[in-house]
Amino acid sequence: MLKRQNPSAPEHRRDLAADGGALSMSHNDSRSFFNLSQLVLSAGQIKPSPALKHSKITYFEVEIVDVQSKRQICIVDKVLPASTVLDVKHKFHKACPQWYPSRVGLQLERNGPFLKDSISIQSLAVSSIITLYFTDLGQQVGWTTFFLTEYTGPLLIYLLFYIRLSTIYDQVESTKNFRHPVVHLACFCHCLHYIRHLLETLFVHKFSEGHTPLKNMMKGCAFYWGFTSWIAYYINHPRYTPPSFGHKQVSYAAFAFLMCEAGNHFINVALAHQTNTGNRTCFPSPTYNPFTWLFLLVSCPNYTYEAGSWISFTVMTQTLPVGIFAFLMVIQMSLWAQKKHKLYLKRFYPEVRRKAAMIPIIF
């Protein structure tokens, strides 16, 4: 019998190794790829290296143009977005020293309103170049200087007439005629009125950092100083005649004058306290002080008390110049009160809608 011959062991191993080697190589390659893919998946998404951030600041260029001639005056460059109109005025002053910031008026449009100093430049920008129109507001003075000058004049002028200078009155006539007590009382009330104004200007009122044209101060001084001279001349004249109803008329009018002065002071203190605390969300309400109860009827009680002071002074002295001055003051203060009342209606409509501006029913 013939026996089947099996390949020798070495050859058989070589054949198996050759066949199995090819299989193992393909199997190892697939396994290596599988392991690599698993490693990538387990490592997560490869994050790109963070890009370097370069800080870039945007500047604006402000072109200042004359409102009349439309001629370019200068260009204020490198204006930060957080800058305000006041900052632009300061840079404009450096370029043109003859115009200091309080004298510069800037408008976004030729016929538009003047921009407030607190407005940011970024809110005005449509592009990187902003055009503003320049107006010379003239010589300016601060509000504190304005009121101190306006109120100091009447105080000193009245005292000059009260001592009866020889250059104003006849000395012989001045020594002969007896002064009625109302003359001394009128001097006291008049001085008290303007001393109160001066003290409130220094210690009560909080004025903004704005300015007003010098010509406005000249007009105010001419009005107050001129009328004070006319009033003081008649009241302190040696031939001055006392009021018709005598002591009763003087006493009642003087009492009303003092009450109005006190009420005006307490109202100004209440308004200043509201401004200092920053509580502007509601209209000023009356307090335990009876003088503040006028807030229930009118929105501008300080003007009401001011008008009452001059009406009382007119009754107390019974002179024509005081009456004309009181009449003009009532008209002017009623206009101021109506203007302020309109602003109150926009801000505090529910609280102010049933109030009058200065005098109930009338204004």
Sheet with 60-66, strands from edge to edge, namely 72-79, 60-66, 129-136, 104-107
The single residue listed with the structure tokens 């001045």 is 174
| Distance (Å, whole) CA 317 – CA 314 | 5
Residue 362 has pLDDT above 80, yes or no: no
The single residue listed with the structure tokens 């509000």 is 143
| Distance (Å, whole) CA 270 – CA 258 | 18
pLDDT greater at residue 120 or residue 20 = 120
360, 300 contact by CB (below 8 A): no
Residue 30 has pLDDT above 80, yes or no: no
pLDDT greater at residue 2 or residue 144 = 144
| Phi, psi for residue 133 in degrees, rounded to 5 | -95, 130
Burial class (CB in 10 A: 0-12, 13-18, 19+), 157: buried
| Distance (Å, whole) CA 58 – CA 351 | 45
pLDDT, tens digit, 9 for 90 and up, residues 63-117: 999 999 989 999 998 899 889 999 999 999 999 998 889 899 999 998 889 998 8
Of 155, 154, 196, which Cα lies nearest the Cα of 305? 196
pLDDT score at 104: 93
The radius of gyration of the chain's CA atoms, rounded to the nearest angstrom, is 43
pLDDT, tens digit, 9 for 90 and up, residues 173-182: 888 878 999 9
Residues in Cβ contact with 161 at an 8 Å cutoff, skipping those fewer than 6 apart: 168, 229, 232, 233, 235, 236
Average pLDDT over residues 130-158: 94
Residue 140 has pLDDT above 70, yes or no: yes
Classify domain 60-138 at the CATH class level: alpha beta
CA distance to 57, 298, 340, per residue, from 179 (Å): 77, 40, 43
| Distance (Å, whole) CA 315 – CA 241 | 13
306, 333 contact by CB (below 8 A): yes
Structural tokens at position 158: 């009245």
Q: Average pLDDT over the chain, rounded to whole?
A: 84
Residue 343 has pLDDT above 80, yes or no: yes
Of 293, 294, 325, which Cα lies nearest the Cα of 312? 325
| Distance (Å, whole) CA 263 – CA 304 | 9
Every domain of the chain and the residues it spans: 60-138, 139-241, 242-362
pLDDT, tens digit, 9 for 90 and up, residues 208-246: 767 889 999 999 999 999 999 999 999 999 999 999 999
pLDDT score at 4: 43
